[in-house]
Chains A and B, each alone.
Chain A
Amino acid sequence: MPVIALAAEQNKAKIVWWVWPILLFVTTFLIGIFGVMAGIGGGVLFVPLVSSFFPFHIDFIRGAGLMIALGSSLAAAPVLLRRNFASLKLAIPVALIASAFSIIGAFGGLWLSRLNPAYIQGSLGVLILLIVIVMLISKSASYPEVKAGNSFAQALQLNGVYFEPTLNREVEWTVHRTLAGLLVFCLVGFLAGMFGLGAGWANVPVLNLLMGAPLKVAVATSSFSLSITDTTAAWIYFNQGAVLPIIIIPSMAGVMIGANIGSRLLPKVNPAMIRNMVIGVLLLAGIRSLLKGFGI
């Protein structure tokens, strides 16, 4: 195995520089398509796949991962906010907690990577395998039953209303288990900053299953709140110099164009099949990251 890995590294070194941004664009274009169709966004696929199969150092890949998640979120947020699917009221406290911890995560990640990049690569592998488990076992509820009288939710006024076209009426919603939800967002923010992953895979189950927001509100608010959570961590990577335009810009273009096409293809495909396929790719990328962490 080490001989094969060494040969692969030598082959990477022989490839002319401009091939890599093109390969990156093609890869992220596919990530954009499948990320949208699987409902997880591109960030969580980008870091493990690119760090496993491309020659860039993981410090730059994590910086790019954050920028990609930020770019995708900024592109989607205005529409989601205007249609009231994303809630500013819900995002403000949730993103405040997550963004504070994403700063700690960003510094933790850069520090760990400086000690030994294999620590980051290996723990990324473990995290991706955990995400696979979360994706396999988590269910969703369109309109979860929420117990009234959660004082924390009332104090923070965590409620809202949106027009649901499939029901042809307005849906009013509130949340519960607010404190537990906010505590989980500490961890979500930390992991987003440390690994440069978008946190949609965690945000949606926490907002929907734990806090009881309707699925549509959970998905949209998750997508929007990434633009706030990832901002603080992205500034840290940016200021530390962990941004290479040659990685970031082709990747952002690929993910954004791919996501656009993916959203158009969505009605024509079987989402369960795509989701299983993405879980399979994540599983492979997680194992590859873990092996790379062990120097294999």
Chain B
Amino acid sequence: MDQKYENLDNQILYAGVLKFLANSGLVLLFLTFFVYMLEIVEPLVPLEELPQYWNLPLHEFLEKTGAPTGWQWVNFLNKGDYLNFLGLVFFIGATGVCYAVLFFDFLWKKKGMYLFLVGTELIFIILAASNLLKVGH
């Protein structure tokens, strides 16, 4: 085979890490939703009161319910609705973890161009996840 047309050798590694994280996230998501729906753990916003809030614009919803933003949800893990965020974070965080694996793999193999591209993407993901970026008022 012509060397030029080879795929990246870490594509299979990426697929494996992604599969593990996506499957773990899915299991966690459905388990925590089950806990939420049965109100085994008391939610921040009671389920029967949700219809009063779910049609509100985001800023009003946050004001009226006292719902957390950014990483403050970690302090609300004793609430049934925010317990679901554990599974959601697995889903949203999966690509970041895969990119971190790729970054170190490219660093080890000294592949400069991919290191730059993957490193830049990783910076965007970390910035977005960090809650350092804010929308203006």
Contacts and interface: CB of A to CB of B under 8 A. Distances in A.
B98 to A, nearest CB: 9
Nearest to A9: B55
A187 interface: no
Interface in A91-123: 92-93, 95-96, 99-100, 103, 107, 110-111, 113-114, 117
A228 B94 CA distance: 9
A87 B7 contact: yes
Interface in B97-137: 99, 113-114, 117-118, 120-121, 124-125, 127-129, 131, 133, 135-136
Contact of A156 (B15, B16, B113, B129): B113
Contacts, number: 186
Contacts of A57: 54-58, 61
Given A239-B129, A245-B33, A60 B54 contact: yes
B58 A245 contact: no
Given A113-B57, A160-B7, A245 B91 contact: no
User: Which secondary structure characterizes the binding site on chain A?
Assistant: helix
Nearest to B4: A159
B58 A111 contact: no
A82 B55 contact: no
A254 to B, nearest CB: 13
Interface size range of chain B in the complex? 35 or more
Contacts of A107: 133, 135
A178 interface: no
B77 to A, nearest CB: 13
Contacts of B136: 111
Lowest 8 A-B CB distances belong to which pairs?
A245-B84, A78-B19, A235-B128, A81-B15, A74-B22, A59-B58, A172-B5, A239-B131
10 contacts: A13-B51, A74-B22, A87-B7, A159-B4, A232-B124, A235-B128, A241-B58, A242-B58, A245-B36, A246-B54
Given A59-B61, A96-B121, A110-B58, 12 more contacts: A18-B47, A55-B55, A57-B61, A67-B88, A78-B15, A81-B11, A88-B11, A103-B133, A157-B4, A228-B99, A239-B128, A245-B84
